């Protein structure tokens, strides 16, 4: 199998008109409410979730036998409400660290507390800028996973915020060296993945420091390395675990996880079961009114 290195071409920017009022923007920026807990597999932080397998269909599979993390032929729906990688909630792993136990470097803890004291008013998401990989799947409006084994790629298409997409390569290419001056840091980094049984393991690095990689404003540096694990124990459940390794912001690597629930209808209640188009990249004249969550 031929693998290709990551190329460091600067992405083009496309300005699009604002399609929603401030009220809509504020509503769409809120994180989703938690649903009932379900089964989570794929890592130590997710191992103790109760199972919903008895009430859900088995996970679908592609013709090559690989578990399908996305939409099955003839079905409808998308991934929606989720939890958090720290603290405990109905969709979060009960083994998550409490925020007081996250191994912050002193400066990172101070920055996190500053962001909380200011109601996260500096959150780039509220200004239509991309979040990091974890933040994108935590954000309301849902997302889709498109597997393309013939192209050695998996696409994540996000319905909320800046309506972006993420490309994860499965051809074994190495990750870039973040100390190489030719490596251009990006919002979603560079991602290379492999399958471990029915779990997609995604390694990512090369992030910029503009985005918040998860909701709540956890700090990070350019040395951030994420190891994400995606699995689908049953049709209605996506299990997610991430290990955060950033020696610039944390004293040691740490992990957290949550589950994401399958939505059969659109957010407006219609039976289409599709994520809505949502754009807010340009002509935002209400930034001065955004004061936090």
DSSP annotation string for 202-260 = EEEE-B-SSS-SSTT-----TT-EEEEEEEEEETTEEEEEEEEE-TTTBSS-EEEEEEE
Give one word for 12, left, alpha or beta, with left for phi > 0 and alpha for psi -120 to 50. beta
Dist CA 24 CA 188 (whole Å) = 25
Q: What is the predicted pLDDT for the residue at 250?
A: 98
User: Which residues are CB-neighbours of 65 under 8 A, at least 6 positions away?
Assistant: none
Q: What is the predicted pLDDT for the residue at 17?
A: 34
Listing DSSP states for 17-69 in one string gives: ---S-HHHHHHHHSPPPP-------SSGGGTTPPP-GGGSPPPPB-TTS-B--
**Tokens 């420091």 sit on residue:** 209
Dist CA 52 CA 203 (whole Å) = 28
Q: 230 and 53 in contact (C-beta within 8 Å)?
A: no
Dist CA 126 CA 201 (whole Å) = 29
> Where does residue 76 rank: exposed (0-12), middle (13-18), buried (19+ CB within 10 A)?
middle
Both tokens of residue 31? 């994180």
Residue 190 gets which letter from DSSP? Answer: E
**Tokens 């939409």 sit on residue:** 71
Dist CA 105 CA 205 (whole Å) = 20
pTM above 0.75, yes or no: yes
Q: What is the predicted pLDDT for the residue at 30?
A: 39
Q: 129 and 210 in contact (C-beta within 8 Å)?
A: yes
Nearest CA to 61 among 47, 41, 75? Answer: 75
Dist CA 17 CA 32 (whole Å) = 25
> SS3 for 159?
coil
Dist CA 149 CA 230 (whole Å) = 16
Please count the residues of the chain.
Answer: 293
Q: What is the predicted pLDDT for the residue at 161?
A: 66
Q: What is the predicted pLDDT for the residue at 263?
A: 93
Q: What is the predicted pLDDT for the residue at 290?
A: 65
Query: Could you state, in chain order, the average pLDDT of each consecutive group of 10 residues for the chain (293 residues)?
Result: 57 34 36 36 36 74 97 93 91 96 98 94 84 90 94 92 87 96 96 98 97 95 98 97 98 97 88 81 65 64
> SS3 for 95?
coil
Give residue limits of the domains in the chain.
Answer: 22-289
Dist CA 17 CA 196 (whole Å) = 42
């Amino acid at each position: 199998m031929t693998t290709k290195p990551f190329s460091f071409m600067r992405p083009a920017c496309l300005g699009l008109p604002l399609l929603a009022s401030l009220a809509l923007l504020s509503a769409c920026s809120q994180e989703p409410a938690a649903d009932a807990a379900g089964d989570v597999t794929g890592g130590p932080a997710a191992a103790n979730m109760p199972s919903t397998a008895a009430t859900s269909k088995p996970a679908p599979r592609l013709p090559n036998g690989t578990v399908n993390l996305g939409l099955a032929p003839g079905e409808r729906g998308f991934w929606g409400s989720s939890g958090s990688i720290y603290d405990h909630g109905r969709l979060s792993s009960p083994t998550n660290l409490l925020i007081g136990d996250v191994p912050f470097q002193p400066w990172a803890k101070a920055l996190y507390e500053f962001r909380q004291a200011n109601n996260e008013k500096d959150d780039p998401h509220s200004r239509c800028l991309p979040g990091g990989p974890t933040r994108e799947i935590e954000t309301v409006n849902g997302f889709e996973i498109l597997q393309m084994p013939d192209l050695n790629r998996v696409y994540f298409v996000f319905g909320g915020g800046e309506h972006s997409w993420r490309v994860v390569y499965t051809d074994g290419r190495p990750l870039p060296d973040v100390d190489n001056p030719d490596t251009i840091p990006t919002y979603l980094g560079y991602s290379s993945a492999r399958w471990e049984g029915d779990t997609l393991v995604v390694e990512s690095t090369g992030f910029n420091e503009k985005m918040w990689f998860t909701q709540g404003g956890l700090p990070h540096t350019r040395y951030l390395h994420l190891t994400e694990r995606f699995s689908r124990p049953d049709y209605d459940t996506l299990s997610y675990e991430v290990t955060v390794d950033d020696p610039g912001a944390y004293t040691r690597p740490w992990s957290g996880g949550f589950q994401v629930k399958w939505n059969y209808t659109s957010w407006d209640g219609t039976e289409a079961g599709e994520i809505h188009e949502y754009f807010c990249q340009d002509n935002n004249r209400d930034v001065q009114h955004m004061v936090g969550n």
